[in-house]
Amino acid sequence: MSDAADQIFATLKQSSQSGAPLYLQLRKSIEDAVNRGLIGPGDALPSERDIATKADISRVTVRKAVQDLVKGGILVQRHGSGTFVAPRMERVEQSLSRLTSFTEDMARRGMAVRSAWLDRGLYAPSPDEMMVLGLSSSELVARVARLRIADDTPLAIERASLSASVLPDPAGIGSSLYAALGVTGNRPVRAVQRISAANLGETDARLLEVPPGIAGLHIERISYLASGKVIEFTRSIYRGDAYDFVAELRLTGPSEEGRP
Ligand code: 16G
């Protein structure tokens, strides 16, 4: 067993007089070891049995401590291969004043972008889609749903809806929706974005490789053409531990006060 593991158990012995339940003491020892860098992102935790033997506690206690740390996003469990310290996220800083695409944002940071398709096709529009995109019930909506991945880390789930008259072949967009819209002169020039907090459900959490229930960001973007026509209605879930949205604020001068 590694030195780091030995140190975890040494700390555990020191704290065993504290009177706190054993699983909480073990949880804290492991958490401290991660925070102090004794075990780093991607490092394997010793097996449940090794921990139990070494610390002289039951496997049930070990499991409880480990499950708590998995729920908190400190450890990750991979079926068949064990428990590891969760990879540390490099937070992405995203300006809220420029209308850019995911592909452009990541390319500017030198990150390799790819997407996993969740859905693409033509459908009868939902009431929300009809209202936002101005579609009638006899028209079709093109849906493009993707898991967006940068440098092998899934960052967001994006579900875009556009009128089928603008995007008749959603399967043919290639790697960038905005690039495809640019080809037909339909790239948006303005957008309104609404950001709210969301706790991730099972399915979204699994796709984004985070524990269910963890904080995420729900983002709705409605984009417009220069003519004022709505072109895109996208609802996304972004990882809360990966994104900082940054907006620049200016004091309104007297000449601008009262402007709409
Ligand atoms: C951004 C947009 C999304 C747009 C996508 C196009 C947000 C929250 N969302 O991720 O609305 O559909 O870019 O990216 O910023 P693409 O051209 O790389 O497909």
pLDDT, tens digit, 9 for 90 and up, residues 203-255? 999 999 888 898 999 999 999 999 999 999 999 999 988 888 888 898 887 66
Confidence band (pLDDT; 50, 70, 90) for 125?
very high
Kindly give the number of the ligand 1 atom that is closest to the alpha carbon of 173: 19
| Average pLDDT across the chain, whole number | 89
- CA-CA distance, 163 to 178, in Å (whole number)? 14
Ligand 1 centroid–CA 127 distance in Å is 22
Bin 159: left if φ > 0, else alpha if -120 < ψ < 50, else beta.
Answer: beta
Q: Is residue 238 exposed (0-12), middle (13-18) or buried (19+ Cβ within 10 Å)?
A: buried
Q: Domains of the chain: which residue ranges?
A: 2-85, 92-246
User: CA 149 to CA 242: how far, in whole Å?
Assistant: 12
Confidence tier at 144 by pLDDT (50, 70, 90): very high
Query: Is residue 57 a contact partner of residue 26, using CB atoms and an 8 Å limit?
Result: yes
Compute, in angstroms, the gap from residue 119 CA to the centroid of ligand 1.
15
Mean pLDDT of the 116-141 span: 97
Through-space distance between the first and last CA atoms of the chain, rounded to whole angstroms: 66
Q: Are 222 and 239 in contact (CB under 8 A)?
A: no
Q: Which range, of 102-111, 144-153, 175-184, averages the lowest pLDDT? A: 102-111
Q: How far is the CA of 204 from the centre of ligand 1 (A)?
A: 18
Q: What is 92-246's CATH topology?
A: Chorismate lyase (3.40.1410)
Q: Looking at ligand 1, which residue's alpha carbon is closest to its atom 13?
A: 101
Q: Three-state SS string across 180-193, please?
A: HHHHCCCCCCEEEE
* Predicted local confidence at residue 14, as pLDDT: 60
* CB of 181 closer than 8 Å to CB of 231: yes
Closest CA to 214 of 226, 223, 206: 206
Number of Cα atoms under 13 Å in the Cβ half of residue 227: 6
Angle at the Cα of 192 from the Cα atoms of 187 and 196, rounded to 5 degrees: 130
**Which residues line the pocket of ligand 1, CB cutoff 6 A?**
101-103, 158, 160, 176-179, 219, 221, 232, 234, 236
Q: Report which ligand 1 atom has the smallest distance to the Cα of 103.
A: 18
Architecture in CATH for domain 2-85? Orthogonal Bundle (1.10)
Q: Given pLDDT bands bounded at 50, 70 and 90, which one contains residue 54?
A: confident
Q: Identify which of 92, 102, 195 to mutate to test ligand 1's pocket (most ligand atoms within 8 A of the CB).
A: 102
Of 97, 143, 221, 235, the one to substitute when testing ligand 1's pocket (max ligand atoms within 8 A of C-beta) is: 221
Q: DSSP string of 11-33?
A: HHHHHGGG-S-HHHHHHHHHHHH
The reported pLDDT for the residue numbered 1 is: 46
